Amino acid sequence: MTEAVEYDVVVLGGGPAGENIVDRTRAAGLSTALVESELVGGECSYWACVPSKALLRPVLARAEARRVPGLSAAVQGPLDTAAVLAHRNHWVGDWKDQGQIDWIDSTGADVYRGHGRLYGVRKVAVTSPEGEHHVLSARHAVVVATGTRAVVPDLPGMAQARPWTSREATSAQQAPGRLLIVGGSVVGCEMATAWQSLGSQVTLLARDAGLLPRMEPFAGELVADALRAAGAVVRTEVAVESVVRDGPTGPVTVVLKGGERLEGDELLMATGRAPRTDDIGLDTIGLPAGKWIEVDESCRVPGHDWLYAVGDVNHRALLTHQGKYQARIAGAAIVARAEGGTADTGPWGAHAATADTRAVPQAVFTDPEAAAVGLTLAEAERAGHRVRAVDYDLSKVSGAGLYADGYRGRARMVVDLDREVLLGATVVGPGAAELVHAATVAVVGEVPIARLWHAVPAFPTISELWLRLLEAYRG
């Protein structure tokens, strides 16, 4: 190894969380190095949030336009799949990260390309693609922001079948004729929505009783109904036992429990995520490799006052916006401690991540969109809260009818009856993703129901649903 190069902060992983650490520490004048083994910008920029939204936006825009009188007749034809894919390619920079590198350079941070591993206390060893070796030493903090990877179950024939993961599903350059999707959570539902509309015949297979199992049950029901109406096959409570690929480029067959066989041209396994911690040197500091990294509320690793973990890798909330939030918290804590203070000092007060455990917003860009924040009814009851769920049919909101003919959707708020504040809310319907932040503010701020009466929604918007929910709560 070469002689160590010293920085105030070394960041291992250049996705959104890592980039936000760089932003915060450099703004405070701390010297910072960023280590990235693939593309600076990470999973979200190239294989997840950005490309999936680029694929889905034309799908949702066409679906909504088809429900608008005077416009519907003009948008009955198929999508221009080639144009959609080209637009997606543009948004991911054709999988080149020069734009992100330029931004890092503008902050004054240094980028090291290559595989980084912890090399004992406050040190990171980097091996570049060309075989060069560097050792980076951190005066104040090393931050692990290596994210997650897709999990593919070890079923008979799976390795030989060469299934898609979310990466292939968001970067494919043509629509497969028949796409089998295993997994009924966010990735499975969004990719089913996208590729069914881009020319594939989609069959979605879910292990659970419904889709989107971490949301209110009605969210998965409405999404499943819409997928079926679009021509997709949706099956729940099914299990895949083995997979067979016919030759290098032939069709793929999944064998279900009970022996039924389903054939497709490609197979997407949307079956979960695992932390990318198996080869980053955790063992050199006494932590288990391949596991999620436990952190405190400032995202510091207990027992290691110099080590932080932000984003998916700490398993608090596997969402890009929550990883960026954690990075802002951790960055502020690192700066405060580097200046001789504590995580309780600084211009923003206490540097503690709390929104990633009790008020996590999420948007699923299916048709209809599904958005939620906080606890579902079942989660609130399991946590021991005395609660009441209030539901409302979104089609009865004036703004919904003006938004689109035949608007179909549903909303629910979960109220803590002892404190009369919102613990959670779910909205499903066209445009629902833009409604969730209002609910997030109410949940995070613990705004009393009595005060929410005075948050008057503009007429005629779909946001009027909050008035209708409050009326239903009052009875």
Residue 130 has a pLDDT of: 93
CA distance linking residue 319 with residue 362, whole number of Å: 8
Residue 297 has pLDDT above 60, yes or no: yes
Token reading at 82: 């080639």
One domain, residues 219 and 345: no
Tell which residue, 100, 83, 92, 85, has the closest CA to residue 34: 100
One domain, residues 318 and 399: no
Token reading at 32: 């910072």
Q: Provide the pLDDT confidence category of residue 359 given band limits of 50, 70 and 90.
A: confident
Gap between the terminal Cα atoms of the chain: 71
Residue 350 has pLDDT above 90, yes or no: no
Residue 176 has a pLDDT of: 97
Residue 424 has pLDDT above 60, yes or no: yes
The DSSP result for 217-259, as a single string, is HHHHHHHHHHHHHTT-EEE-S--EEEEEE-TTTS-EEEEETTS
Q: pTM score, two decimals? A: 0.94
Residues in contact with 298: Cβ distance below 8 Å, sequence separation at least 6, in sequence order: 308, 329, 330, 333, 343, 351, 352, 353
Residues in contact with 186: Cβ distance below 8 Å, sequence separation at least 6, in sequence order: 212, 362, 364
Over range 266-289, report the average pLDDT: 97
Domain assignment of residue 67, yes or no:
no
One domain, residues 117 and 232: no
Residue 356 has pLDDT above 70, yes or no: no
Residue 351 has pLDDT above 70, yes or no: no
One domain, residues 115 and 236: no
**Least confident segment among 67-81, 141-155, 345-359:** 345-359
Residue 248 has a pLDDT of: 83
As a whole number, the mean pLDDT across the chain is: 94
Residue % of the chain over a pLDDT of 70: 97
One domain, residues 306 and 436: no
One domain, residues 267 and 280: no
Residue 5 has pLDDT above 60, yes or no: yes
Q: Could you tell me the CATH number of the domain that includes residue 101? A: 3.50.50.60
Token reading at 104: 């890092």
SS3 assignment, position 142 = strand
Domain assignment of residue 361, yes or no:
no
One domain, residues 252 and 186: yes
Tell which residue, 168, 144, 163, has the closest CA to residue 153: 163
Domain assignment of residue 165, yes or no:
yes
Strand segments, DSSP code E, in 53-122 are 110-113, 115-118
Residue 281 has a pLDDT of: 97
One domain, residues 218 and 247: yes
One domain, residues 204 and 289: no
98-104 long-range contacts (CB < 8 A, ≥24 apart) are 100/14, 100/19, 100/39, 100/40, 100/41, 100/45, 101/40, 103/19, 104/14, 104/19, 104/22, 104/34, 104/40
Domain assignment of residue 76, yes or no:
no
Residue 349 has pLDDT above 70, yes or no: no
Condensed to tens digits (0 to 9), the pLDDT of residues 219-238 reads 999 999 999 999 999 999 99
* Total domains, the chain: 3
Peptide bond into 448 cis (omega under 30): no
Domain assignment of residue 71, yes or no:
no
Query: The domain containing residue 372 runs over which residues?
Result: 368-474
One domain, residues 279 and 218: no
One domain, residues 139 and 169: no
Condensed to tens digits (0 to 9), the pLDDT of residues 7-20 reads 999 999 999 999 99
Backbone angles phi, psi at 386, to 5 degrees: -90, 105
Q: Could you tell me the CATH number of the domain that includes residue 384? A: 3.30.390.30
Condensed to tens digits (0 to 9), the pLDDT of residues 185-200 reads 999 999 999 999 999 9
Token reading at 244: 């067979």
CA distance linking residue 329 with residue 345, whole number of Å: 12
Backbone angles phi, psi at 60, to 5 degrees: -70, -35
- The pairing of strands 32-36 and 110-113 is parallel
One domain, residues 112 and 16: yes
Last residue of a domain, one of 271, 291, 326: 271
CA distance linking residue 191 with residue 159, whole number of Å: 22
Residue 343 has a pLDDT of: 59
Backbone dihedral region for residue 147 (phi beyond 0: left; psi -120 to 50: alpha; all else: beta): left
